[in-house]
Amino acid sequence: MKNGKHILLITPGFPADENDFNCIPPLQEFLIGFGSRFPTSKITSLALHYPHISKNYKWKAIPVFALGGKTISIKKPFLWIKATSLAKKINEQDSIDLIHTLWLGECALVGNFLSKKFNCPHICTLMGQDVRRTNRYLKFLKNKEIRIVALSKNQSDQFFNLTGRTTDEIIHWGINDEITDGSQRDIDLLAVGSLVPLKNYSLFIRSVEELVLLKPEIKCMLAGSGSEESKLKQMTKDKKLEENIEFTGLLNRIEIFKLMKRSRIFVHPSTFEGSGYVFAEALANGMNIVSFNVGYAQQNAKWFIVKDEQEFINTTKKIILAELDFSPVNLFPLNETVERYAKLYDVN
């Protein structure tokens, strides 16, 4: 009799090695936590696009089969055929008991086909923009026999509004309890994310423009890279805020945590988030948050949730000179995430 369960994880990307900290950090946290808590169960990962080369390797003892889809010139259906063929070989060697896919997209499409082939359950975790109308896979998958997991109530509501179907579970990606508070808080505002229109970082710069009237020496950092970087830098220059806003470029997770430990307020002007794992990271590193009601957002003494852009600016102005609490808070513990998925996996 097989000891434990064999779970096939199908995802667009998977860490290329154990130093690839920026590839889906919450998934990495979960897999490490799950492996530690349930060592007799096995997870095998099938990564369709990233790493960008086709290779087989191990990550934290997890077998990974990377197809390098982004660098293959063939069309997606051929990639899916390759993925299903590989999954069948994996199943022949060690029968698969459950399929877990990330994003309600092509991975879920492949997972849905395989779950019927292997006669096993299929769980899909919604990850972000797969709950937007632009997701062309929704119409093919919304009524299938897939257990749908949302990362937040906001995301679950968005899924219902789009499909008329309720999600089966709401399970936050959790964060471990090993993060400790920093002592020196020399950065007033920190923003972290992709510099793309959806993240709305022009509001961050407009906020600093008003805050500098209250605190001329205000120190702010914007960490990330993306298509709007040049535009945002020009906006900063035009508003004569170059001494107040530093663009760090893309940083790894360890470097981000170092900045969080030095920062007072995490500002997140994004108008849409499926989850916003960065919120959990900011709180765990002792920061206070100003954001819209997106993703993980929930009322907390350290979390200021606003309704519109003017309230975003006014709230930040209100707390910039206030005495703030910098004690770490973990609203989304990793052990809870692990136990919730273990129940879904029927693992004990």
Mean pLDDT of 116-125: 97
**Using CA atoms, how far apart are residues 152 and 157, in angstroms rounded to an integer?**
9
Task: List the beta bridge partners of residue 220.
Answer: 189, 245
Phi, psi dihedral angles at 25 (to 5 degrees): -50, -40
**26 is written with which tokens?**
């919450």
Whether 187-319 and 6-174+333-345 are alike in CATH topology: the answer is yes
**Using CA atoms, how far apart are residues 160 and 148, in angstroms rounded to an integer?**
11
- State the chain's mean pLDDT as an integer: 93
Q: Is 319 helix (H, G, I), strand (E, B) or coil?
A: helix
Q: pLDDT band for position 327 (50/70/90)?
A: very high
**Using CA atoms, how far apart are residues 168 and 159, in angstroms rounded to an integer?**
11
Least confident of 26-35, 37-46, 79-88, 169-178: 169-178
Predicted confidence (pLDDT) per residue in 209-264, tens digit: 999 999 999 999 999 999 999 999 999 999 999 999 999 999 998 999 999 999 99
Tell which residue, 9, 16, 26, 11, has the closest CA to residue 295. Answer: 26
Burial of 274 (0-12, 13-18, 19+ CB in 10 A): buried
Per-residue pLDDT, 180: 61
What percent of the chain is modeled with pLDDT above 70? 96
What percent of the chain is modeled with pLDDT above 90? 85
Residue 141, H or E segment: helix 138-141
SS3 of 202-267: HHHHHHHHHHHHHCCCCCEEEECCCCCHHHHHHHHHHCCCCCCEEEEECCCHHHHHHHHHHEEEEE
Per-residue pLDDT, 266: 98
Per-residue pLDDT, 149: 97
Per-residue pLDDT, 141: 85
Whether the pLDDT of residue 181 is over 90: the answer is no
Per-residue pLDDT, 140: 83
Predicted confidence (pLDDT) per residue in 271-326, tens digit: 988 889 999 999 999 999 999 999 999 989 999 999 999 999 999 999 999 999 99
pTM: 0.92
**Using CA atoms, how far apart are residues 187 and 200, in angstroms rounded to an integer?**
21
Q: What distance, in Å, lies between the first and last C-alpha atoms of the chain?
A: 16
**Using CA atoms, how far apart are residues 230 and 33, in angstroms rounded to an integer?**
39
CATH code for the domain defined by 187-319 = 3.40.50.2000
**43 is written with which tokens?**
């997870």
Q: Is 291 helix (H, G, I), strand (E, B) or coil?
A: strand
Q: pLDDT band for position 114 (50/70/90)?
A: very high
Which residue type occupies 106? E
Architecture of domain 6-174+333-345: 3-Layer(aba) Sandwich (3.40)
Per-residue pLDDT, 1: 42
DSSP for 112-132, written as a single string? HHHHHHHT--EEEE--SGGGS
Go through 92-117 and write b for each residue having 16 or more CB atoms within 10 A of its CB, e for each that does not: eeeebbbbbbbbbbbbbbbbbbbbee
The residues near 106 (Cβ < 8 Å, ≥ 6 apart) are 12, 48, 76, 80, 137
Q: Is 192 helix (H, G, I), strand (E, B) or coil?
A: strand
Per-residue pLDDT, 77: 87
Every domain of the chain and the residues it spans: 6-174+333-345, 187-319
How many C-beta neighbours within 10 Å does residue 12 have?
18
